[in-house]
Amino acid sequence: MNRIPLPTLFFSANRLVGHGVETLVRTVGSLKGIFCDAAAFEKLPQDAIAYEVSSYLPVPEGSIGSLYFGITRIHPHLAGNEYMMTKGHFHTKSNCAEYYWGIEGEGVLLTMDTAGKCRAELCFPGSLHYIDGRLAHRMINISEQIFSFGACWPADAGHDYQTIAETGFSARILKLNGKPCLVSLNNNKCTQLESI
């Protein structure tokens, strides 16, 4: 009798594991230049893991109509009063949207349009976030544990890191009086984000 084949991909301890899964590890040192307080950043252990991305990329990059899938785990570090975060990027193709969803810990999805307008959404286990293809996106760990989230995006989206490296996000998530706040770098306006 033929057996129904077992799946080859699994969520295990909030990592993606299985045949063909690739893991990228970004150290703290590799994120030089993205935090507001450069001196505080230098005091962090530069070899420590900032975040890991395990991805399943079953088709060549650029394949139209195909999907990629990944799980990112951001470790809890503070560079001064700025929480650990992903580099953030625009998609090269602005008609390629993405889904993020919270798995473990608590974070913030920060998006920014091409005019520099930022928006923040709390992300927690079970929350689902649709990211318009025209928006830059970055995730920030506001918890004291690993914050992990899933992502699904088109294989032809492409990644533009250069624009963010040059201009940065115009708003940051900072820990002020012990609480996460969205701080606009243009006018120093702070909006407190209610932690769940």
Of Zn ion, ligand S6P, none, which one sits near residue 70, judging by CB under 5 to 8 A according to partner kind?
A: ligand S6P
Count, residues near ligand S6P per rule CB under 6 A: 11
Q: How many CB atoms lie within 10 A of CB 66?
A: 14
Q: In the complex, what is the shortest distance from the CB of residue 36 to ligand S6P, in angstroms, rounded to a whole number?
A: 18
Query: Do the Cβ atoms of 118 and 171 come closer than 8 Å?
Result: yes
Of 103-142, which residues contact ligand S6P (CB under 6 A)? none
Distance CA 85, CA 35 (A): 9
Q: Give dist(CA 16, CA 163) in Å, integer.
A: 29
Cβ closest to Zn ion, residue 11 vs residue 99: 99
**Is there binding between residue 106 and Zn ion (CB under 5 A)?**
no
Residue 141: closest CA among 194, 71, 85, 187: 85
Contacted entry of ligand S6P, Zn ion, none for residue 72, CB cut-off 5 to 8 Å set by kind: ligand S6P
Min dist. Cβ of residue 117 to ligand S6P (A): 19
180 near ligand S6P (CB under 6 A): no
| Rounded Cα distance, 157 and 89, in Å | 11
* Closest residue by Cα to residue 160 from 130, 136, 131: 136
Part in contact with Zn ion (CB under 5 A); list of ranges 92-100, 109-117, 165-173, 176-184: 92-100
**Which one, 81 or 86, has the nearer CB to Zn ion?**
86
Rounded CA separation 127/115 (Å): 27
* From 9-17, 20-28, 96-104, 176-184, span contacting Zn ion (CB under 5 A): 96-104
Q: Judged by CB under 6 A, which of 11, 15, 66, 87 binds ligand S6P?
A: 87
User: Which residue, 96 or 122, has its beta carbon nearer to Zn ion?
Assistant: 96
Measure the CA–CA gap between 15 and 73, rounded to whole angstroms.
8
Amino acid at 10: F
Backbone torsions φ then ψ of 124, nearest 5 degrees: -150, 170
Choosing from 16, 79, 98, 180, the residue that interacts with Zn ion (CB under 5 A) is 98
What kind and span of H or E run contains 52? strand 49-56
Contact footprint for ligand S6P (CB under 6 A): 53, 70, 72, 86-89, 98, 151, 153, 157
Instruction: Give residues in contact with Zn ion (CB under 5 A).
Output: 98
